[in-house]
Amino acid sequence: MPEKRQLVAFLLIVSAVALAVVMWLAASLWNAAHPPHATRLEVFKSGLQLLVVVVLGGAASFLVSQLTRAQQDRAALHESRHAMLIDFEKAYADAKTVRRLMRGEPALATYSVVADKRKAVCRQTIGADSRAALRGRLIDMLIDAQLALERLEEQLTTDRPIFDEQQHMAGHLRTMQKYLNKVADDCLWVCVQGTESDAPISTVQTPLLCDFIGPYDTSRFRHEFSEPHRHAVKLIATTLAHG
C-alpha cells in the first residue's frame, strides 16, 4: 500500500508538470499567432501564472500529505510490532515462570519423576488448601500465556503483514501455544482428579505435565516451546533491523 501511494504521488506530479508545460506551449503559440496587445498580454500572463501555481501547488500539497501519511503509517507499524513483541515475550516469560515455580518451589508444588522397569510416574505433593490455591493461580498464568500466544498467532495470520517471514512466525507461535494448551489440559486433569498428596500420576495420563516440569534437554518443552521462541525472536530481530 505505501508503494502504491508513492507511485500515485509521482504520477500526479509528473502529470501536473506536463500539464503546465503543455499549457505554456499552447499559450505561447497562441500569443505568437496574434498581434501583441499590452493589456491582453498581462492578463494572459497573470492567468497562466495563476494556473501554474494552482497545479504545482496542488501537486506539492498532495505530495506533502502522502509523505506525512507514510510517516504515520511507519510509526503505527513500529508501534504494532513493539506491542506484539511485548505480548510475545510476556507470554513466554510467564510460562517459564510457571515451570520454574512448579519445579523448584516446595511451598507451591513439588514434582519428582520416578522410573522403574514397568513405567514412569510423576509424583505430585501438593497438600494444603493454600497450596492448591497457589497451584490454581499458576495454572491460570499458564492458560493466560497460551491464550496470549493463540491471539498473537491469529493476528499474524489474519492481519496485514507487519513482519518479514510472517507465516513462519505464525507457525512458531502455533507450535508454542499448542504445547501449552496440552500442558494446561494435563494440569486441569490433575485439579479435577483431586489427587491426594504423594499419589503417583502416570505419565500416560499427564505426559505433557510431566514433560513440562521434567529435564530440559530431552523434553518437548525445549523442542516445542523454547526453540520455536528462539526462532521467532530471530525473525522479529531481522524485521526490526530492516526498519
Closest CA to 122 of 182, 220, 203: 203
Instruction: Scan for cell 531481522, then name that residue.
Output: 238
| Total domains present in the chain | 2
**Domain boundary residue, one of 71, 86, 116:** 71
pLDDT tens-digit readout, 82-102? 888 999 999 999 999 999 888
45-68 burial, b for 16+ CB within 10 Å, e for fewer? eeebeeebeebeeebeeebeebee
Say if pTM beats, i.e. exceeds, 0.95. no
Cα(58)–Cα(47) distance, integer angstroms? 16
Judgement on whether residues 65 and 85 belong to the same structural domain of the protein: no
CA angle 197, 203, 208 (to 5 degrees): 100
Cα(62)–Cα(56) distance, integer angstroms? 10
**Domain boundary residue, one of 71, 104, 122:** 71
Judgement on whether residues 184 and 165 belong to the same structural domain of the protein: yes
Judgement on whether residues 121 and 93 belong to the same structural domain of the protein: yes
Of 32-46, 76-90, 104-118, 173-187, which one has max mean pLDDT?
A: 173-187
Domain residues for the domain of 13 are 2-71
The DSSP-derived string for 158-222 is HSPP-STTHHHHHHHHHHHHHHHHHHHHHHHHHHHHTPPTTEEEETTTSHHHHHHTS-STTSHHI
pLDDT tens-digit readout, 97-148? 999 888 865 434 444 444 443 334 444 444 445 666 777 788 899 999 999 9
> Does residue 146 contact residue 181 with C-beta atoms inside 8 Å?
yes
pLDDT tens-digit readout, 56-66? 676 677 777 77
pLDDT value, residue 48 = 64
- Grid coordinates standing for 243? 526498519
Judgement on whether residues 34 and 99 belong to the same structural domain of the protein: no
Instruction: Scan for cell 491464550, then name that residue.
Output: 147
Instruction: Scan for cell 498473537, then name that residue.
Output: 152
